[in-house]
Amino acid sequence: MAAADTMTLESFRSETRAWLEANCPQEMRRPFLSEEDACWAGRKWVFRSQAQRDWLERMAERGWTAPEWPQEYGGGALSREQAKILRQEMARLGCRPPLSSFGIWMLGPALLKYGSEEQRREHLLPITHGEIRWCQGYSEPNAGSDLASLQTRAEDRGDHFLVNGQKIWTSYADEADWIFCLVRTDVASKHTGISFLVFDMQTPGVSTKPITLISGKSPFCETFFDNVRVPKSGLVGVLNQGWDVAKYLLTHEREMLGALGEDASAQRVGQFACRNLGIGNGVLADPLLRSQIATLDVDAISFKAAMERAGDLTKARQANPALSSVLKYYGAELNKRRYELLMAAGGSDALEWHGERSRDGAMARAWLRSKGNSIEGGTSEIQLNIIAKRILALPNS
Ligand SMILES: Cc1cc2nc3c(=O)[nH]c(=O)nc-3n(C[C@H](O)[C@H](O)[C@H](O)COP(=O)(O)OP(=O)(O)OC[C@H]3O[C@@H](n4cnc5c(N)ncnc54)[C@H](O)[C@@H]3O)c2cc1C
């Protein structure tokens, strides 16, 4: 990198640091203790505090809820290097992400690549400002790993599609404002008969039914479509070629899920274990757990480096498209390991399910929730199949 570029980046770093220090409320500098601390925003959202609202509004105003998106769509137009600096400076100060959003993590990149200009203008700005919350209607009762078997039908009725069918495991469908959805528009062909639609969850005929998870929470739903009229303007990309959009979006979903592993910092696990199990000779008293936490730390640091490298390869258009499966697989496993260690460090107290001390069993519930990491966004077995075929080029058995 040229010296002038390095200087520019250094001044970007100091400006960013000063801005974050001035604008990130103290309350937003504490780590997430449970899923409830995330800000999903959207029409139905009730802000948990004024600080949560201020933080979202300030970051959105600056384009930093989607730092690398173009400015005209509400992004920050940062280069990859600048976005990395922003992440580093946020981490240094302990800033929470201002917005958790399937719109930013999944739909936005797909609209930037496949959407029409009208669709980008209609949807991207409300996404970056947290005005509209999205959910993902991919899985069906008989179409999970074999997603292309999906049966939800969209019939062409002239100026609109008539959608009938059922989705399942739709995360936060009952809290979302809009859905991006895979539908069958041609029954003659499996993969080339699928289209990608977006529509408002308030459209007549859309209903949701929450499903309770092992954690006792209900983060997802069955979603039903009963004669739902979707305007033709909701078709993203080309009719019957939605599979291309779906696959592209999935690579972003897998990267997002893989990033859970980046969060597998052993520091918090170590501190928690020391508090609970005590210190002997300046180190954690339990040698077995100490060694497991050290291994997690080394693996998490290596994974972070692998994520950075993957980002650089993607930018240079040299990344194998299946790389997202590597990141998803490993990130999910790391995050699950982190929660296993937190539970081990917490002893029987960590199993507390109700009560103020445990914030109603926040850790036990998060531990159980982490089990879903190796299922959502494509199971670990499916990721291993993809890696075997597309990266290792192993023959079909
Ligand atoms: C927490 C969570 C959130 C989710 N959120 C959403 C969402 O928002 N939107 C959405 O559309 N979906 C969502 N899903 C659904 C998720 O994408 C599916 O559960 C997943 O793709 C697996 O599909 P399935 O449940 O039908 O399992 P199946 O496909 O029936 O698989 C069952 C088992 O068989 C194995 N298996 C299947 N095929 C193969 C094969 N070829 N080789 C080896 N093993 C195989 C699988 O690995 C798995 O262990 C979510 C799931 C979870 C757990």
Q: What's the average model confidence in pLDDT over 263-281? A: 79
Span of 213-222, 287-296, 297-306, 369-378 with lowest mean pLDDT: 213-222
The response to whether residue 144 sits with its C-beta less than 6 Å from ligand 1 reads yes
pLDDT higher at 276 or 210? 210
Dihedral (Cα; 232, 236, 242, 244), 10-degree rounding: 160
The answer to whether 176 and 133 have CB atoms below 8 angstroms apart is yes
Position in ligand 1 atom list of the atom nearest CA 381: 47
Residue 375 to residues 229, 265, 276, 332: CA-CA distances in angstroms?
32, 22, 31, 9
Q: Which of 253, 262, 333, 376 is catalytic?
A: 253
Q: What's the average model confidence in pLDDT over 321-330? A: 92
How far apart are the CA of 369 and the centre of ligand 1, in A?
15
The response to whether residue 169 sits with its C-beta less than 6 Å from ligand 1 reads yes
- For ligand 1, mutation pick of 145, 168, 381 (most atoms within 8 Å of CB): 145
- Residue 264, pLDDT > 60, answer no
Closest residue by Cα to atom 44, ligand 1, is 381
End-to-end CA distance of the chain: 46
Amino acid at 244: D
The residue assigned the tokens 């200087």 is 7
The response to whether residue 149 sits with its C-beta less than 6 Å from ligand 1 reads no
Averaged pLDDT of the chain: 92
Position in ligand 1 atom list of the atom nearest CA 167: 11
- Residue 68, pLDDT > 90, answer yes
For 307, residues 6+ apart whose C-beta sits below 8 A from its C-beta are: 258, 259, 262, 327
Task: Give the whole-angstrom CA distance, residue 214 versus residue 387.
Answer: 29
How far apart are the CA of 252 and the centre of ligand 1, in A?
17
Q: What's the average model confidence in pLDDT over 48-65? A: 98
Predicted pLDDT of residue 139:
98
Residue 222 to residues 168, 170, 173, 211, 219: CA-CA distances in angstroms?
4, 6, 8, 7, 11
Closest residue by Cα to atom 35, ligand 1, is 381
Catalytic residue status for 253:
yes
Residue 155 to residues 165, 239, 283, 347, 390: CA-CA distances in angstroms?
11, 12, 65, 55, 35
Closest residue by Cα to atom 16, ligand 1, is 376
User: Whole-prediction pTM value?
Assistant: 0.93
pLDDT higher at 30 or 114? 114
